[in-house]
Amino acid sequence: MYRYVGNISDLSHDIIKNYVLNKDVAIDATLGNGYDTDFLSEFFSKVYSFDIQEEPCIKYKEKNIENVEVINDSHHLFNTYINTKVDCIIYNLGFLPGGDKNITTNHITSLESIKLGLELLNSGGMMVICIYRGHNEGKIEETCILQYLKELPKNKYGVMVQSYLNRQDISPMMVIVEKK
């Protein structure tokens, strides 16, 4: 078992835990099975969690976690539900593990959401995007998202990519954006 290079999702949590200093408001842009929301709810005062599928939303609401607001809608509609700045946003793109593989995030709405999310981020805030390139839409998301983030002004945002060099090209990758 690797301590650092094992699992990008666990690594994303460690980065957030250690480097996001102000832990007031967070967004889980893709609730799914709630692994990221569980993590965020432990460290942030308030968490907004989005998913377009009703089932994961109902399931998570049943947990009755006080500081989590579950929103059964698409993450490209952040502004309909959130009218405050946020300190952290997590995306775990793709389809729900164990669910319908045809219901997946989409490059158009993912990118729209990322653009809005960057506006919502507080100074010192972080956005972490885990991209799963093993399916067609994931490959398109990778291209569009990297192309967009590459052009962000470096005096305002730091953008870093983590990927496995000695695994297949389709292995998951993570992008970290820190707002100055």
Ligand X SMILES: C[S@@+](CC[C@H](N)C(=O)[O-])C[C@H]1O[C@@H](n2cnc3c(N)ncnc32)[C@H](O)[C@@H]1O
x-or-dash string of contact with ligand X, 10-49, rule CB under 6 A: --------------------x-xxxxx-------------
Q: State how far the Cα of 42 lies from the Cα of 65, in Å rounded to an integer.
A: 10
For the chain, what is the radius of gyration of the CA atoms?
15
Q: Which is nearer to ligand X, 30 or 41 (CB)?
A: 30
Q: State how far the Cα of 122 lies from the Cα of 118, in Å rounded to an integer.
A: 9
**Residue with the two structure tokens 């929301």:** 37
Q: State how far the Cα of 94 lies from the Cα of 171, in Å rounded to an integer.
A: 13
Q: How many residues bind ligand X (CB under 6 A)?
A: 20
Please tell me whether residue 109 binds ligand X under the rule CB under 6 A. Answer: yes
CB of 154 to ligand X, least distance (A): 29
List of residues contacting ligand X (CB under 6 A): 30, 32-36, 50-53, 56, 74-75, 92, 94-96, 103, 105, 109
